């Protein structure tokens, strides 16, 4: 099997990963969202497997076994059902697959922009946080203190 550079997965495994990722997060043209098997996103997923490599491989094998025939040959509804069912069963491999797909997908420039987020790291620009309405605290300020003062509560009173 030929290994794809920098990923640890073979070309065939990356292909399978792409099919599954594309089913997990398909494109939505109306909302302007690419699919998770978009070449740039898939390359990011594959590059970022790191310590999850073995678990993701396990997930690919498990999903292939569950689909009984080639995953890509299933219709959209069956693919949806299969990935949802597989993820819902839990387990470290499913969680790892979800984590690597979502981590890469939700840092893609196009995805963030379509969601109204700036495609940048938080630092150094940071964000603005409103003070909010502090008069909301007025009724709480009226309350007498209600913490138990052990200097006035007689010992053994309960």
Partner 1 sequence: MASNEKVDVLIIGSGASGAAVAWSLAETKMRILCLEQGDWIKPTDFPSNGRDWEARRYTDFDISPNRRGRDTDYPINDDNSLMKIANFNGVGGGTVIYTAHWPRMHPSDFRVKSLDGVADDWPVDYWALEKFYEENDRMMGVSGLAGDPGVPPRHPPMPPIGLGKTGARYAQAMNRLGWHWWPSDTTIATTDYEGRGACINLGHCTPGCAQGAKASTDITYWPLALRAGVELRTRCRVREITTDEHGMAAGAIYYDADGVEQFQPAEVVILACNGVGTPRLLLNSASSRFPDGLANSSGLVGKNLMLHPWPIVSGYVEETLDGGRGPINCIWSKQFYETDPSRDFVRGYTLQFGRGTGPATQAMMGAASGLLPWGRNHHRHYRTMLDHRLSIGVACEDLPEEHNRVTLDPELKDSHGIPAPRVDYTISENTRRMMEHGIARAEEILTEAGATQIFASRTALNYPGHLLGTARMGTDPERSVVNEWGRCHDVKNLFIVDGSIWVTSGGVNPTSTIQALALYVADQMKQRLATLFD
Per CB under 8 A, residues contacting partner 1 are 23-26, 28, 31, 33, 48, 50-51, 76, 79-80, 83-84, 87-88, 95, 98-99, 102-107, 111-112, 115, 117, 119-134, 136-137, 139-141, 143-151, 153, 155-158
Cα dihedral sign for 45, 107, 87, 70?
negative
- Smallest distance, partner 1 to C-beta of residue 15, A: 19
- Smallest distance, partner 1 to C-beta of residue 4, A: 20
Residue number, 11 or 50, with CB nearest to partner 1: 50
Give the DSSP per-residue string, 65-114.
HHHSS-GGGS-HHHHHHHHHHHHHT--HHHHHHHHHHHHHHTT-HHHHHH
Residue number, 69 or 158, with CB nearest to partner 1: 158
- Smallest distance, partner 1 to C-beta of residue 103, A: 4
Give the three-class secondary structure for 124.
coil
DSSP β-bridge partners for residue 3: 10
- Smallest distance, partner 1 to C-beta of residue 157, A: 7
For 14, other C-beta atoms within 10 Å of its C-beta total 20
Tokens (6 digits) for 70:
């080639």
- Pick the closest to residue 105 from 16, 18, 12, 35 (CA basis): 35
- Smallest distance, partner 1 to C-beta of residue 1, A: 26
Residue number, 9 or 104, with CB nearest to partner 1: 104
Residue number, 14 or 23, with CB nearest to partner 1: 23
Residue number, 1 or 90, with CB nearest to partner 1: 90
Q: Cα dist. 124→39, 102, 110, 136 in Å? A: 29, 24, 21, 32
């Amino acid at each position: 099997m030929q290994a794809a550079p920098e990923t640890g997965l073979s070309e065939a495994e990356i292909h399978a990963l792409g099919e599954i990722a594309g089913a997990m997060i398909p494109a939505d043209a109306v909302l302007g969202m690419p699919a998770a098997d978009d070449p740039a996103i898939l390359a990011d997923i594959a590059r970022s497997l790191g310590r999850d490599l073995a678990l993701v491989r396990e997930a690919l094998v498990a999903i292939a076994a569950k689909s009984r025939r080639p995953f890509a040959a299933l219709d959209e509804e069956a693919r949806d059902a299969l990935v949802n069912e597989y993820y819902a069963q839990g387990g470290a491999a499913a969680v790892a697959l979800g984590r690597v797909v979502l981590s890469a997908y939700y840092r893609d420039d196009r995805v963030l922009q379509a969601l109204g987020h700036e495609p940048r790291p938080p630092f150094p620009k940071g964000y603005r946080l409103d003070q909010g309405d502090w008069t909301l605290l007025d009724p709480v300020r009226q309350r007498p203190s209600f913490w138990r003062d052990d200097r006035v509560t007689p010992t053994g009173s309960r």
